[in-house]
């Protein structure tokens, strides 16, 4: 029974599968077929790529509506107007074809020459005036004809090239297949040239690049490389290389591909290409649904972005101005891609190793240590040697004293056994040395903080520059939209002028942001003792781990509620007092003053005690008195002794120095009082710094998510207002306000993380230690200590003990 049941289940499953499959196939086969003929001027990589993109958009859009079939004409066009007209007539006569899409300049001319169309024809790339196409306002006005304009804007493109490099004479190079059948093909270029005040020469490309290069006039100062459909990529490369060899700036009408391969500049329209293809696909769908093609809008607002090949600019000796670079996308731009990779951790570690300010302070400490050795030298044996050669009056020279000529030398020495002042001075210098050591540790922490802040300021400046560049691109899009609205009569010229003003202001913001980034990079290079404008790289913005070294997610729970945050502040304040090098430094200074006080007080009653000794030798004596004294009966005179020695002890005690000693003692007492007050001030300010920094860090931590939400909401609002503006339901004031609000929110969101990281570094500096220098064991121990501190506070039921120390009062203000 079980086997029979399984077999029945299997049969049922297979049956259902076939049934469902048959149903799906039937549903698929039941969709109507929509046949579209694609006609191009001839075989071309560019035209084939455009057709491929358009086919993909149409198939994706109409996959649920109809089974779209693309057919090719049997007639070969072969880059001739006759061939194009024949292929077009074939498509119009073929009843199985429901619609025709044409690509190329000649196909557009052929469509414009036809008096009537018996089926829909779409031209995705159209230049109505040049191709002789009808136009009725923002529509074609001819039955079954739809097209999309915005193909050529010579004035804008020539103006962009002229902003990069100044020129007065330009040569336009275009393929013969482009201009052969156009009506007054040179007219748009001539009009644009007249508006810009330049002279333009038209060169129709020949069969080879070399022949075209030879046709360029010698006085040409710039080249506009127009569309080429028939040349191979290798031939085009020869043309671009030849233009660069003549050091001529060039504009590539063929797009970014040729800028990447050596042309100087172009207007990037990849986004516009996608939008154009999607609009064309929507036109196809609307035609299939029965809408008249003559009613479709023909205007198309372009949103181009200037692209500059910086390697070409360098090779031909042309440097774009800052205002141009502000909104351009630069290819082969080495800035930001050269030099060593610097992370926050490497910047902070390298700073303590190479920073000149810290190095100078370290050398000062070395000098202070030598001062300790100077004081210690007084406690080591002291020795001195002296010698003299004297010539005396013969009348007073004798054998018992100084001979007429005599050379004497000797060595004396001493060993200090005890000295109250010397002992105090040695300990004073030793404690002063340790104070400078702690000052160095404080300076080391300051250097690490300075380098960390400088590094994060570089990232912040880069973010600000990126956001301002994005805003400039958006403003450029809105300007294109306003120009389109003005063209179709929806808006006046004042909107165009307003957006042009916004463009200038946005450019200024980008240049200012770039200057801020440059200053931040110079500051970081100075701290790291690198050449001030040496290039370096930083991790991408999405690599958050590169800017959060040593961070521990276990601490975030102490930032999420008021009670935990208060306990965390109290714990960190105690940690700061324990770790603070400033506290240790002033403690060493207090200890040094204590030693001086002890020395001054002991000096009142305890003498300096030393052991002294020496010898004297007279190796030569001559003249009167040099001979031994004459012998005298009954007396034995030793005469002059040539070698004598002495040894003994010495004690020195100051009995009275005019009360100077007592004054020094009182002065030292006052200095100690001041130092103890200074220590209290330092401790108070340390605790204030820690608590204030933690409050700021708590705000900036919460602000990360808040600014992100605000940026998302502002972006959605801007998208909504832009759509309303495009449809005429919102005015320019609303759109400008929405864009400014989105810009401010985007800047705040972009900088919120770096604000928090800087605040976190300041907390660690105030606490006297940076987490990146600690090991994992140190971090685990820190977490255990703070958890234990928190648990103890929970048991106590309070976060702090009331103070029991009386408030100190300024003795000068006591009364």
pLDDT tens, 316-329? 888 888 777 777 78
pLDDT of residue 626: 75
* Residues whose CB is less than 8 angstroms from the CB of residue 607 and which lie 6 or more positions away in sequence, other chains included: 651, 652, 653
Helix (H) or strand (E) holding 708: helix 660-726
pTM: 0.70
Place of tokens 């040695």: 426
State yes or no: pLDDT of 643 exceeds 80.
yes
Using pLDDT thresholds of 50, 70 and 90, give the confidence band for residue 16: very low
CB 478 within 8 A of CB 300: no
pLDDT of residue 124: 92
pLDDT of residue 2: 39
pLDDT of residue 5: 42
Using pLDDT thresholds of 50, 70 and 90, give the confidence band for residue 808: low
State yes or no: pLDDT of 595 exceeds 80.
yes
Strand partners, 267: 306
State yes or no: pLDDT of 805 exceeds 70.
no
- Strand ranges across the sheet with 382-391: 382-391, 405-418, 608-622, 643-652
Place of tokens 């309303």: 724
State yes or no: pLDDT of 771 exceeds 80.
no
Distance CA 422, CA 652 (A): 13
Strand partners, 225: 173, 252
State yes or no: pLDDT of 92 exceeds 70.
yes
Place of tokens 């360029």: 216
Query: What is the percentage of the chain residues whose pLDDT exceeds 90?
Result: 19
From residue 236, give the alpha-carbon distance in Å to each of 172, 231, 243.
15, 7, 11
Distance CA 777, CA 297 (A): 69
* Residues whose CB is less than 8 angstroms from the CB of residue 622 and which lie 6 or more positions away in sequence, other chains included: 403, 404, 405, 406
pLDDT of residue 23: 43
Rounded mean pLDDT, 493-509: 85
Burial 120-130 (b: 16+ CB within 10 A, else e): bbbbbbbbbeb
Using pLDDT thresholds of 50, 70 and 90, give the confidence band for residue 478: confident
pLDDT of residue 28: 45
CB 171 within 8 A of CB 198: no
Query: What is the percentage of the chain residues whose pLDDT exceeds 70?
Result: 87
The DSSP 8-state label assigned to residue 538 in this structure reads -
Using pLDDT thresholds of 50, 70 and 90, give the confidence band for residue 190: low
Burial 337-347 (b: 16+ CB within 10 A, else e): eeeeebbbbbb
Strand partners, 408: 388
Using pLDDT thresholds of 50, 70 and 90, give the confidence band for residue 612: very high
CB 124 within 8 A of CB 280: yes
pLDDT of residue 631: 66
Rounded mean pLDDT, 587-613: 88
Beta strand 222-225 with 250-252: parallel, antiparallel or unpaired?
A: parallel
pLDDT of residue 803: 52
Rounded mean pLDDT, 690-709: 86
From residue 810, give the alpha-carbon distance in Å to each of 673, 674, 677, 807, 814.
12, 11, 10, 10, 6
Q: Where is average pLDDT lowest: 82-86, 185-189, 220-224, 488-492?
A: 185-189
- What does pLDDT average to over the chain? 82
Distance CA 363, CA 148 (A): 74
pLDDT of residue 21: 42
Measured in degrees and rounded to the nearest 5, phi and psi for residue 346 equal -65, -35
Per-residue pLDDT of 214-236, as tens digits, reads 889 989 999 988 777 777 788 88
Residue of higher predicted confidence among 58 and 401: 58
Per-residue pLDDT of 423-448, as tens digits, reads 888 888 888 888 888 889 999 999 99
């Amino acid at each position: 029974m079980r086997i029979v049941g399984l077999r029945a289940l299997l049969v049922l499953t297979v049956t259902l599968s076939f049934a469902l499959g048959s149903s799906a196939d039937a549903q698929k086969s039941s969709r109507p077929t929509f046949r579209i003929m694609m006609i191009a001027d001839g075989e071309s990589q560019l035209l084939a790529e455009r057709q491929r993109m358009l086919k993909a958009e149409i198939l994706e859009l109409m996959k649920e509506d109809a089974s779209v079939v693309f057919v090719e004409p049997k007639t070969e066009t072969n880059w001739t107007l006759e061939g194009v007209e024949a292929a077009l007539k074939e498509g119009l006569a073929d009843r199985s074809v429901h619609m025709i899409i044409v690509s190329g300049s000649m196909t557009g001319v052929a469509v414009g020459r036809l008096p009537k169309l018996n089926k829909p024809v779409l031209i995705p790339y159209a230049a109505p005036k040049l191709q002789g196409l009808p136009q009725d306002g923002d529509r074609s006005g001819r039955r079954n004809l739809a097209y999309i304009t915005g193909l050529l804007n010579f004035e804008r493109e020539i103006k962009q090239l002229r902003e990069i490099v100044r020129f007065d004479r330009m040569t336009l190079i275009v393929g013969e297949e482009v201009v052969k059948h156009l009506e007054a093909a040179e007219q748009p270029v001539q009009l644009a040239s007249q508006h810009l005040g330049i002279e333009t020469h038209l060169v129709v490309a020949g069969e080879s690049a070399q022949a075209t290069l030879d046709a360029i006039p010698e006085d040409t100062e710039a080249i506009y490389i127009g569309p080429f459909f028939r040349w191979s990529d290798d031939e085009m490369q020869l043309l671009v290389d030849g233009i660069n060899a003549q050091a001529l700036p060039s504009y590539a009408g063929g797009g970014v591909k040729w800028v990447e391969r050596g042309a100087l500049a172009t207007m990037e329209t990849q986004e516009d290409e996608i939008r154009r293809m999607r609009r064309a696909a929507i036109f196809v769908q609307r035609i299939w649904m029965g809408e008249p093609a003559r009613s479709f809008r023909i205007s198309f607002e372009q949103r181009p972005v200037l692209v500059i090949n910086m390697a070409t600019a360098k090779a031909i000796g042309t440097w774009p101005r800052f205002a141009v670079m502000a909104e351009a996308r630069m290819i082969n731009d080495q800035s930001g891609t050269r030099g060593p990779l610097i992370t926050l951790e490497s910047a902070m570690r390298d700073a303590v190793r190479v920073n000149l300010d810290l190095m100078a302070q370290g050398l000062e400490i070395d000098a202070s240590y030598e001062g300790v050795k100077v004081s210690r030298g007084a406690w080591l044996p002291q020795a001195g040697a002296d010698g003299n050669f004297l010539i005396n009056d013969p009348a007073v020279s004798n054998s018992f004293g100084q001979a007429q000529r005599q050379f004497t030398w000797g060595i004396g020495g001493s060993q200090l056994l005890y000295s109250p002042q010397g002992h105090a001075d040695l300990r004073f210098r030793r404690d002063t040395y340790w104070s400078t050591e702690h000052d160095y540790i404080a300076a080391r922490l300051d250097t690490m903080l300075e380098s960390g802040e400088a590094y994060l300021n570089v990232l912040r400046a880069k973010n600000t520059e990126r956001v301002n560049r994005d805003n400039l691109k958006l403003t450029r899009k809105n300007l294109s939209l306003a120009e389109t609205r003005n063209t179709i009569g929806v808006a006046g010229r004042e909107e165009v002028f307003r957006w042009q003003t916004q463009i200038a202001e946005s450019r200024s913001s980008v240049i200012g942001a770039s200057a801020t980034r440059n200053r931040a990079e110079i500051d970081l290079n100075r701290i790291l003792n690198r050449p001030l404008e040496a290039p370096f790289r930083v991790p991408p913005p999405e690599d958050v781990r590169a800017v959060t070294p040593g961070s521990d997610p276990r601490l975030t729970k102490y930032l999420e509620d008021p009670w935990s945050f208060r306990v965390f502040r109290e714990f960190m304040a105690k940690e700061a007092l324990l770790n603070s090098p400033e506290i240790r430094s002033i403690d060493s200074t207090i200890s040094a003053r204590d030693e001086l006080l002890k020395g001054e007080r002991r000096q009142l009653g305890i003498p300096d005690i030393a052991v002294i000794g020496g010898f004297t030798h007279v190796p030569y004596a001559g003249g009167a008195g040099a001979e031994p004294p004459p012998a005298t009966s009954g007396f034995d005179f030793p005469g002059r002794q040539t070698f004598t020695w002495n040894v003994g002890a010495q004690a020195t005690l100051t009995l009275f120095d005019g009360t100077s000693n007592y004054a020094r003692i009182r002065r030292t007492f006052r200095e100690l009082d001041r130092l103890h007050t200074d220590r209290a001030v330092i401790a108070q300010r340390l605790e204030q710094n820690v608590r204030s920094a933690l409050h700021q860090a708590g705000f900036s931590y919460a602000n990360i998510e808040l600014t992100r939400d605000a940026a998302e909401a502002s972006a959605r609002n801007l998208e909504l207002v832009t759509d309303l503006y495009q449809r005429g339901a919102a005015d320019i004031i609303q759109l400008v306000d929405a864009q400014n609000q989105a810009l401010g929110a985007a800047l705040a969101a972009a900088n919120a993380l770096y604000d928090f990281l800087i605040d976190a570094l300041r907390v660690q500096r105030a606490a006297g230690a940076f987490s990146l220098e600690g090991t994992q064991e140190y971090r685990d121990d820190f977490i255990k200590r703070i958890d234990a501190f928190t648990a103890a506070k929970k048991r106590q039921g309070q976060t702090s003990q009331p103070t029991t120390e009386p408030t100190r009062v300024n003795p000068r203000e006591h009364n």
